[in-house]
Amino acid sequence: MTQSKDTAPNHPTIGSAHAGTGAVVRIGTRGSALAVSQTQTIASALAAKTGVVIEIVTVRTEGDTSTESLASLGGTGVFAGALREALIAGRVDVVVHSLKDLPTAAYPGLSIGAIPKRVDARDALCARDGLTMDDLPAGARVGTGSPRRAAQLHARRPDIEVVDIRGNVDTRLAHVAEGRLDAVVLAAAGLDRLGRLGAVTEFLSLDGWPTAPGQGALALEVRTGDEKLVSALNHNPTRTIVEAERHVLALLEAGCAAPIGAHGQIDDGLLFLDARVYSPDGTEKLTSSHALYAADTPQPSLEVAQRVAAELLENGAARFAPVGGTP
């Protein structure tokens, strides 16, 4: 397998040149266990659908090497920059992002070619001794690197201590196993992809605990014009839903790390969208919910998000959360 300077060794080629066109598609990924796992899932699916040969290329990102908090680095978008640079430079042909980590602003020369079917969008509590959120004792130390989760923890349990942490899934779970923390909050999708659902002591309902826009979904980004490379993996209902969630972020001019939760769904043709904005300390929150028939408008994701964002701003979201702008 040909390797570039930022390629990790020993990534196998996936697929068979005899199975299809013989083309080789290089997929870029971060080097974390979770990123590699979800990229391997995409690589296998793309090879099966199209017959192309896949080469996985690992790219180091600032978010992986820095020990600073995500908020101080400018939010989870720090994970996307190096991957996008590799794509623009032609070192890879596709990059796989966790959609919740991808900035909403368009990147010149790049397009999201596919959003595969979403998996579990919920957050999960992983606590010592099988504890649930309500069972945690006063003063319990709960770790997260997400301002949104921190605000939700403060809102739900103002009597606990929220601890800012970094690191991969195993590192965070080790904080609990080794007694440094009483619990951590992580994405259920990531735990599932790593086979670590056994660590979950409570799944947090999306009704009361909306998660990051796009959580549980992946985005396959390509150079504009190359969308057909990955279009076979696109799942249209997922794309409609997560684009609505992400439009709320864009319309509020809020970044990936803003304390905003959103959840969409499609039921009998109705596109539902709920969004909630928190103050950083969790003492205030605003919620907006709207729905429309997706078939009745050419841009259902944008229209429902405009209604939600307008209501949040009208009710004062900019007063206590780092959002701005008008829809």
What is the identity of the amino acid at 26? R
Q: Which residues does 288 contact at the CB level (< 8 Å), separation at least 6?
A: 274, 275, 276, 307, 308, 309, 311, 312, 315
* 187 and 123 Cβ atoms separated by less than 8 Å: yes
Q: How far apart are CA 297 and CA 292, in angstroms?
A: 9
Nearest C-alpha neighbor of 264 from the set 299, 290, 226, 285: 290
Asked about 101 being catalytic, the answer comes back as: yes
Q: How far apart are CA 50 and CA 54, in angstroms?
A: 11
Give the single-character DSSP code of 14.
B
Q: How far apart are CA 179 and CA 79, in angstroms?
A: 29
Distances (CA, A) of 209 to 5, 126, 263, 265, 325: 42, 15, 10, 15, 25
User: How far is it, in rounded angstroms, from Cα 149 to Cα 187?
Assistant: 10
Query: What is the three-class DSSP state of 120?
Result: coil
Would you state the structure tokens that stand for residue 305, as one six-digit string?
A: 């998000």
- Between CA 41 and CA 182 the distance in angstroms is 32
**Given 6, 93, 101, 281, the catalytic residue:** 101
Residues designated catalytic: 101
